[in-house]
Chains A and B, each alone.
Chain A
Amino acid sequence: AQKVTQAQTEISVVEKEDVTLDCVYETRDTTYYLFWYKQPPSGELVFLIRRNSFDEQNEISGRYSWNFQKSTSSFNFTITASQVVDSAVYFCALSEYLSGANNLFFGTGTRLTVIP
């Protein structure tokens, strides 16, 4: 069965600090997709990234970077030089090809608070 674990329930950092949000997943499928979403206080989910299981290249987008390691089944998300606007709940999610790739399984989320 698929599973997504975000062990960090809440994290607080001071503005300009770097912060890494952890995500560990479990799947028996060889083809799967990993996602990160941001949910600000308004509630709307904002898509951040999608990564397929065959692409282990790390990705950087501005202050955001993602580290995908199949060997440890992890897909961690780092925000550098954090800003107050980064305060939100961040969800890691998994979809499996064999389960119908559109079905997303979400982790429990990490609430990030950036203190000015």
Chain B
Amino acid sequence: GAVVSQHPSRVICKSGTSVKIECRSLDFQATTMFWYRQFPKQSLMLMATSNEGSKATYEQGVEKDKFLINHASLTLSTLTVTSAHPEDSSFYICSAGRTDRGYEQYFGPGTRLTVT
């Protein structure tokens, strides 16, 4: 149990376009989902916390208008990178928190975004 999926796994887009990444909890409900960003050979940095039915909470330095997060249901959160630039190229990872298991987070497989 506790499977989290992400789609797509890889995406290449041109500068100026928008890309949507989906994060789904497949076998449990997640009131809270998290979006992380990981640059090559670096650690994961929390971008935002997504709560079902409410606005996401962004970490300091993360542009809300650039990284749009929607958590419309208990099993789905989406991250849209708007007007993508090459510096947005990164590995984006989502996680879902299981409230029935204390504070465990389950991570998706990640999405590698390349902006050309």
A-to-B contact residues, CB < 8 Å: 33, 37, 42-45, 47, 50, 91, 95, 100-109, 111
Do B104 and A43 touch (CB < 8 A)?
no
* Complex partner residue of A101 from B43, B93, B103, B110, CB under 8 angstroms: B103
Please tell me if the beta carbons of A104 and B105 are within 8 angstroms of each other in the complex: yes
- Interchain CA distance A91-B46 in the complex, whole Å: 14
Query: 10 closest Cβ contacts across the A-B interface?
Result: A45-B107, A44-B109, A101-B103, A43-B110, A102-B97, A108-B43, A106-B43, A106-B44, A33-B103, A109-B43
Instruction: Decide yes or no: A42 and B43 within 8 Å by CB, A33-B103, A102-B103 being known contacts.
Output: no
Contact B103 A91 (CB under 8 A): no
CA distance A91 to B97 in the complex (A): 18
User: Could you tell me the dominant secondary structure of chain A's interface residues?
Assistant: loop
Does any Cβ of A come within 8 Å of B112's Cβ? yes
Pair A104/B43 contact, Cβ less than 8 Å = no
What's the dominant secondary structure at chain B's contact region? strand
In the complex with contacts A33-B103, A50-B103, A103-B109 CB distance below 8 A: no
Which of B41, B44, B112 contacts A91 (CB under 8 A)? B44
- The interface residues of chain A lying within 8 Å CB-to-CB of B106 are 47
Chain A residues, Cβ within 8 Å of B32 = 102
